[in-house]
Every structure is written in C-alpha cells, then in structure tokens.
Amino acid sequence: MTQALDTLKVQVLRAAALRGPFEPRALLKDVLSPEDYGDKVQRARLISLLHAHCTVETTSPGSPVQWLLRASTRERALDGYENTGAQPETDIAAALNGSGLYDPVLLKDMITTSRDENALSEIVITLEHAGSKAPGHEHLVGLRSRLNAVRRSRQTDAVLGDEFIGRTEELNAIEAWIAAPQSKPPLCSLHIMGIPGIGKSFLLERIVQIAGAQPDLILVRLDFDRSSLQIGAGGTVYDEISRQIGEALPQKAAYFRSLRMAHSERVTRTGHDTADLIPRELLHAMIDVVEQAGRRLIILLDTLEVLQAQGATYVETLMEELDRFADTGRIDIAVISAGRAPIFTESDPRNGGHLPLTKVETVLIREVLHQKSIPEEVWPDIINEAKGNPLRLRLLISVVKSQSAADAAQVLGQAHLKGLDRGFVHRVIRARLPEHLRRIANEGLVLHELTVETLVNILAPALGLGDLRSAASDLIAELALQPWLVTNTGRGRLVPKADLRQEVLEHIYRDNPEDTAAVNRAARDYFAGRDPVQHLYHAAQLMRIGEAPPEIEPGLADRFPDRLLNELPIEAQDHIRHARGQRSATQVLVADDLDSRGYDAAGLAAPDAGSQPKLVRIDPRSATGRARVVKGRGFAGRPDPRAVMDLRAILEQGERREATHILREGLPGEYAPTSEVGVLILCHQWLTGHWSKARELFELLPEAALPELAKGNPQLEGRIALEILAEFKFGKLVEWLHDETFRDCAVNVMRSSNRIGLQGAALDFALLAAGVTVEGQQEALGTLAPYLRNGRIELSQERLRLADSIRGDCGLKMAPVDLSDRKAADGRYALAIAPINPYYDRLFALASEMQVAGKGRLLDDLRTLAGGIREAADLFGPALEGLDHAISQAGDRPLDILALIRSLGMTADWAEGYSFFHPIPDLPTLARALSRWQQTTAGYWAYDSAPPKDWAPGRDWGAVTELRIASLADRAGTTRAGRMLSFWADPLDSNTSEGTDTLTRRLSAPFSKVSALKDIPGRMRYLIGSRVPAVFRPAIATLPDKDARLAYFQ
C-alpha cells in the first residue's frame, strides 16, 4: 500500500508540474484510475500532499478554487523529465518538448515580431513554469522584454485615447529637440515643468508614443518617484537603462541580463561601499548594441525634483552618468526631464531650455466640458474662472453640475467675486456639503482614509462630535455620494481625492491648528499598535505645534512612504530622513513652488583664545574638498545643527560628493579639531582620499581622545580613527590591541562599521598581528592565506574570483593561478590579486574629487597615460588577454583610465611611480599605503610590527619584486630597467628631461650605495630600509650588474 501510494504521489506531483493553475479534484480525476480515485482515504492523502506544495490562486467570484504548484516542488517533480508521449498535452509539456508554439525557432522569431500581448504573456508564464529544461528557455528573457515593450505601448495608448488634444507648441519644441540630438558630453536636458495635474504626465506619455512610432528611436524612461532607482548605488541607473534598451531590442535582453548579474556579483563580493561601482562592461555593451542597431536614444527623466530633493549634487551626478553614453560620440542622445519646478538654471551648461506648463489649455478645457455634458452657455465663465488650474476646473464643474442650469451662472458669479484661491477650494468643501458632514469632511482630510472605525475612534472624540457609533455607517455612505471629494474604494473605505487634499491640507492646518492637532493626537493613539506607519505619520505631524520628535523604531523610517513624508512639516521630514541615514530635504514647498533650502550662516562661538591655537576648515581656495588648518583667533565656528546631522548621515552612507557640498555650503566656518565638526572634517578627508591632510588633523587630536572616539560612534569616527592608527602608527595599534579594554572596543568597531571601512587593509592586518579574531576577517585571511601556516586556501580562491570579476569588467582575462602548491604560486598570485587592493577606493575618491572640480594635473596625466598603457602592462603587469579591447573601451576619461590601471593590477605601481615624479598633495601618502599592501600580499610583511604568529618565514622581499628582478637579470643591457625607472615621468617620452632630472636628484645617492654592494640580496636589504619606492627597487638592484651605466646615474 505504501509503495503504491508513493508511486501515485510522484505521478500526481508530476501531473501538477505539467500544468499551470488547476482545480485539485479535477487533476486527480485525470491522473488516477477510477479505482484509485474512488478510494476516499487515498484521495484525501493526495489532496493533502498537493495542498502542502501549492499556493491558492486568486479567482473570480463563483469560479472554482485553483491551485498552483510551488516553483521548488515543480523543479523537483520535473527532474529527469523525458518526452515519452504518455504525458498530458499541456502547454508546459509542449514547452518541455519544444513543440508547437514552443518550438525554439518560433520563439526566437516572436522576440522581434510578436505584438500579441496575451500570447506573449501565456508563453512567458509557461516557460517560467517549465524551467531551464525547456529547449526554448534560453529565449525567456527576450520574450519577457518583448512582452514588457508591447504592454507599455498598449498602456500609453490607453492613457492618451484615440487623439491627443492641445499642447501643439510644446510638442513642436519637443519634436525639434528630439530631431537635434547630442553625441558628445556634456548632455543638456529640455525641462518640462508644471504643478501636479497640469498635464505633464499626458505630455510625457505623448513623448513615449512619438518615440514608439519612430523605428530608429529607443526611449528610456527613468522615474525617480521609484525608491529602487538610486544614483551611484551599484549601477542601478545603468541596470534600468539596460532593461529598457533590452525591451526595445529584446534579442539583446538576455545578453544585458548576464552582464548585470556579473556586475551584481562583483558588487556583492566587494561587500562594502566603494567609490567605483560603474558597470563598465555593461555600459560599453549598451553603446555597442545601440550603435549596431542604428538607433538613437531618448532619455526621459521623470519627477526629477524627487532626486534633487534627496541631495544637492544628485542631479549633476546623474547627468554625468548619462554623459558616459556620449563619451565615445558613437550614438545620438536627447535628454528630456520633467518636474514641478526648474532644475537647471539659465547659466547651467545642462540647461537645454524650459517648457513651462502654466495652465490647462482652453482647447483641453472645452473637451473636458464636452465630455462632462456641461451646458455650452456657461463654458466661457468656467474657462475664465478656472484660470487653467486643473483642480479648480474640476471643482467648478462639480459645482455647476450640482445646480440647475438657471443657477449655474449665479454660482460662477459668486466664484468670481470671492476669488479662486485656496480659500475658494476650502469654501467649496463647506458649501457643497450638509452641515453635519462639513467638519467630518474638512478636518477629516488630515486622515488618509475615512471609515466607520476612523470616524468613531478618531474624528468624533477629537472634534467633540459625540458618540457616532450608531450613525457612522450612514455618514460614511452619505459622504460616498460626493465623488468630487472622495473615492469610494469599497467596503466602506473612502479616500480623499489626492489633488484636492494636496491643495487644501496646509490651509486646513493654518486655519484650524487646535482641531487638526486634536485629530492627529487621536490618530496617533488609535494607530499605535495597529499601523506603525500611520502612527509615525500623525505623531510627526504634531511637530507643527512644537511637540517633540517621535521615536522611530528600527527599519520603520525606511518603510515610511515618500508620499507621506512630503505632507509633513519640513522639520518632521528631516527627522525621518536622518533616521533613514539621509540628509535633510534640500527643497521646501512654498505655495505651488519648490524653493531651494540652504543652511543657517555659521556664527561664532564664545571667545576662548587660549584653548584653540589651531582650527580647521574646508579650504575655499581648493578645487576639491581639501581641508586647511588655520591659526586660531580666539573664536570657533558655531555650526548649523542640521548641517552637522546631514554631514554625519551622508558620510555614514558613503556619499562623498554630497558630503563635500554640505561642508562647503553648510559648514564654511573654522572649527576646533576636537569638536564634532572638526572630527567629521577629519572623517571626510579620510574617506575622500585627502590622506596627508587627514594625518595632519589626526595629529591635532590628543591621544587620550582616540578610545573615546571609537566608543562614541563606532560606525564612523571609531572606524576611521582605528584605520588612521593602522596606517601611521601600526606598531602602537598592535600594542594597544593587547589591552583587553581597547581590544573589546576595537572589536565592537569592526562589527559596527563594515560598510564604510577598508576591507582587508592595514587595520585587519593589525588585528591578525595582535591575534584578535573578528567576524568578517575573510578578506584579510583570504588575501594572506598562502603565507600563513594552515591558511585557508578556499578564502584565497574567493579573493581571486573577485579579482577576476574586476578584470572582467574591463574585458580582461588572466590565466588561473594554481594554489594547490603554495610555493608554485610565487609572484603570480600577488599579481593576480593586485586588482583588489583596497586602497584603490580612496585613490579613486581623490581622483573623483578632482574630476568634479574639473581641475588638476592628475586628470591630464591620466589622459596622457592612455597612450602608454600597453608599455606599462608589459613593464609591470601580468600576462592578460583582451588588453587591446580594454584600452579601446577606456577611451580618454581619466577615471576609466584609473579603473583600467586597477584591472591590470598596477594601482600601487602607478601611484608610487607617478607620485615620485609628481608629488600631488595626498597622493604620496596613498601610494605608500598601496605599496605596503602589495608587498604584504606578495609575502613580505611590510608593517612595523611582528607578523601574525602563523606567518611563514622565508621572504626578505615580495614575490612581485622577485619576479621583476628575475626578469631584469635575464636581460642584457639597461633599456628595460631604465624604462622601469623613467616610465611614470612621461609614459610617451622616455627621454623627458623632467624625469631624468628627478631621477638624478633623488636616486643618485641610493644608487651609488647600491653599486658598492656585490649581490642582489645585499642591495635589496639596503633598498628596503631606504625611502626608494618599491616599484623602482628591482631596476636599481639589477643595474649595477649591467655593462652600461644610465646617464643620470653617471
């Protein structure tokens, strides 16, 4: 019996797996023999089995309940599926067999030709159910993209109807803008602006329709009202653009998806915030595909004011990300943006013109009046009194429709005499309703919905309306008869009209402060324990009358919708934004306009001349956000508390560019280095790569303050204080870590700060040297495993995979490194993992600051380096495939050249060599950190303490240095060694006088001492103890053995 039942279970699950939604009893009747089906006990067991593995699908009223097998169960049930011919003829079976509509050839053709939304939807769902075993499954992504494109086109047509009326001038301007695209940065945007309801959405849908009618256009629409669309967050903007290009060219959708997944894997492996998250391979693939298809791009930026409100630099950051599509000049692009207010000033190079939508056009009003069957004799009065305002038009129509035709003119005359302002809207609410509903409707707009429960438990006690339990249902039903005021969503739930509520809400708060406060208090208490979001909303509204900011439970701020946030007073908005880890709002709504919101001017604190000999400020003369130490004059700045909170939030989020803006605009004063602002400036300098300045500021802090910094805010100040100690006082930090109290504090910091911290860098190495174990040390343990007794090589393999993915993002590939024999890895392992050098993040951040400022020799020199990358790779890099392709993709954008240097594993070499000849502020300090890491990960412990106790002895210098020495020793002559010394002075000119002069001045003395030593080991011991950069040591150590002598060492 048991064996027979088990066989039936397999059959039933397989049958369910070959179907979409099914009626369970009908399924059993199809699968079982009459005898088995007649066994009620057995049938009940099989029904119970199905129920455990199915979800119940939503059905229409009166239809039989349908079940759907869960995906995991379906996959197991179809394992080993073979087409025996005995299976039921279902769509899933056809998909698994690759027959009928599911023939892979037909599916491939549908990707580019089908316009049948229903057929595409059914095929996509069936292929999803069939899984990867279906022969046509490889076309699923393309079919899904095609379905999305067809569905979006149908939705646009449905919104616009048969004919688009009006906006002729605006459409002409838009079509002219589309017809004159750009192919070089900086990209400009034509900006459409107007209040809600004025017609922006319809106009944007018309742009979508125009693009769909022109086969050479691809429209990408980025709606920043979507919380998932974030600037700089792991490439989400590029991800969304690639999805939409994939919908326009569905045969490429699967290709783009694979690139997105590869980049996402790299971001996940990185495991922390980094300055460089650009998906370069995906970006270049999109450009290639659009160019090969002969298409132009229209990029539509919707609700751009939402992005601007999130951060003052975010819109420009977005535009710079879009510029990357135009860098190569290979595709044409037109950018159109929309929002309720101007975004780009007249002098902004991004400004492509403004299209203000100030009112609803008369032709549109006439069409609406016709559709609403309003008598034509009152049309002129309505048009005159509406003044193009969409809400006022709707209210006037509702007023006229509620009157007899004879009274319509009189009503409109009263409207004219009283004026059509917000007060008019408020008066309409009162005039249109019977007296017993007026307060419920008016003060009820403070709530987001009106129900029997909210009427009885919130409005009635708050407004003193008495016990309404018996009358509440009738009152709600009566209000539901006012469709101009509320939407009846069913089951006694009324939702105020959004535009009307938005128009009058502030008016109600101003006119009725006591009543609205009472409603908010009652709502706060009612929703406590019922709805945490509504509870927080009404508690935050009470900040209008000076009540204390409410406490916010962990995670609640992130779930709090932006549409509710925007209804709160600005101080309450800031409170929730800070709880999210965001900065305060950069704009405030005044009447119908969005105004920029600045910070209070920095004042002066009380004089205290003796205690502040030095102060710190952001240097106004610096093109980047570099700080400056100035002499104290007895006064220190009194910062705007909001600016301080914003700076802290943004630094903790890793938003370095926005942090620089806040420092410049909100904290321009001079502050004590030990003050909160002074320490935050130190943190900013560290995170943005201004390391020599960070070191100077750190030295101004008393040593006794460091443990307190670590304890006070471990996720920011504490982490950065420990990292600075590790870089500049490594031995002292290791010593301190042997103290139990300090060690516990450091462990707490490490557990609290993985997001912004450098992973697998000097701080982690110091912990290993002190024998301190902390959760999350895999990066450091994996990097050093080949040099540790009993090191976990599987962690090293993970580090190698991350390095491979970084190379892959530039199209490079390196032969695998075999770590089964640790000694056999020699310098190849160190070269292979060089791209994961964690200090690249701060180097990239420093270069990014210069890029934003548009100034700095570094940027020009990186462009020059583009022409010398091949030689650099030959001199310093490992053997790689795809170099020519990588160089062509990088172009001459400085940050992309720097990313290519990283992918080649030459970040430390470039930083040391370049800063030797061009000591740009902060770069030499970063270069030394990069070099220490590279030497240590090549088997030579380069820090000033004893290595970890498991460190395997035997290396007097790094394996990379050893490889280069061997390479030079085997070559006759001095050409290669000489070029390894002079290359970074000028990659395109080996005879530059500037370079030879620097080499003579700085290296002649060390070379003379090296030349007096007989062998390479002795020379290397001297060089390691000298200040000669590690990148030059192999050349200097081998040159004395050559017959010739370089001219600058004569």
Q: Is the pLDDT of residue 711 over 80?
A: no
Q: Domain spanning 1-80 has what CATH number?
A: 1.10.10
Q: Is the pLDDT of residue 202 over 80?
A: no
Q: What is the pLDDT of residue 407?
A: 53
Selecting from 2.60.40.1480, 3.90.550.10, 3.40.50.300, 3.40.190.10, what CATH number does the domain 165-356 have?
A: 3.40.50.300
Tell me whether strands 189-193 and 333-339 are parallel, antiparallel or unpaired: parallel
Longest dimension (CA), the chain: 115
- For the record, the structure tokens of 681 come out as 């400036």
Q: Which of the pair, 991 or 614, is modelled with greater confidence? A: 614
pTM of the predicted structure, to 2 decimals: 0.84
- For the record, the structure tokens of 409 come out as 């003119």
Closest by alpha carbon to 468, among 535, 476, 493?
476
Q: Percent of the chain scored above 90 by pLDDT?
A: 51
Q: What is the pLDDT of residue 352?
A: 94
Q: Is the pLDDT of residue 135 over 70?
A: yes
Of the ranges 290-299, 403-412, 528-537, 761-770, which one carries the lowest mean pLDDT score? 403-412
Q: What is the pLDDT of residue 434?
A: 81
Q: Is the pLDDT of residue 898 over 90?
A: yes
Q: Distance between CA atoms of 251 and 32, rounded to whole angstroms? A: 43
What is the phi-psi region of residue 492: left when phi exceeds 0, alpha when psi lies from -120 to 50, beta otherwise? left
The residue-averaged pLDDT of 657-674 equals 91
The residue-averaged pLDDT of 143-162 equals 76
Closest by alpha carbon to 715, among 755, 680, 747?
755
Length of the chain, in residues? 1050
Q: What is the pLDDT of residue 433?
A: 78
Q: What is the pLDDT of residue 325?
A: 95
DSSP string, 305-322: HHHHHH-TTHHHHHHHHH
Of the ranges 321-335, 403-417, 666-680, which one carries the lowest mean pLDDT score? 403-417
- pLDDT-derived band at 823 (thresholds 50, 70, 90) equals low
Per-residue pLDDT of 585-605, as tens digits, reads 887 765 556 677 888 766 666
Q: What is the pLDDT of residue 429?
A: 65
Average pLDDT score, the chain: 86
Q: Where do the structural domains in the chain lie, given as residue ranges?
A: 1-80, 91-162, 165-356, 598-701, 837-925+953-1049
Q: What is the pLDDT of residue 227?
A: 59
Per-residue pLDDT of 93-118, as tens digits, reads 999 999 888 999 999 898 888 888 88
Q: What is the pLDDT of residue 417?
A: 41
Q: Distance between CA atoms of 846 and 168, rounded to whole angstroms? A: 48
Q: Percent of the chain scored above 70 by pLDDT?
A: 90
- pLDDT-derived band at 899 (thresholds 50, 70, 90) equals very high
Q: Which of the pair, 181 or 1042, is modelled with greater confidence? A: 181
Q: How many C-beta neighbours within 10 Å does residue 669 have? A: 20
Q: Which of the pair, 203 or 238, is modelled with greater confidence? A: 238
Q: Is the pLDDT of residue 609 over 50?
A: no
Q: Is the pLDDT of residue 391 over 70?
A: no
Rounded (10°) CA dihedral 1005, 1008, 1014, 1020: 30
The residue-averaged pLDDT of 231-255 equals 84
Q: What is the pLDDT of residue 963?
A: 92
The residue-averaged pLDDT of 185-195 equals 91
Of the ranges 236-245, 374-383, 624-633, 867-876, which one carries the lowest mean pLDDT score? 374-383
Q: What is the pLDDT of residue 590?
A: 57
Q: What is the pLDDT of residue 607?
A: 58
Give all strands (DSSP E) within 23-170, no chain letters: 54-57, 66-69
Per-residue pLDDT of 761-818, as tens digits, reads 999 999 999 999 888 788 899 999 999 988 899 999 999 999 999 999 899 999 999 8
Q: What is the pLDDT of residue 928?
A: 97
The residue-averaged pLDDT of 887-897 equals 88
Q: What is the pLDDT of residue 386?
A: 72
Q: What is the pLDDT of residue 64?
A: 79
Of the ranges 145-159, 277-291, 402-416, 744-758, which one carries the lowest mean pLDDT score? 402-416
Q: What is the pLDDT of residue 319?
A: 94
**Highest-confidence segment of 192-196, 329-333, 995-999:** 329-333
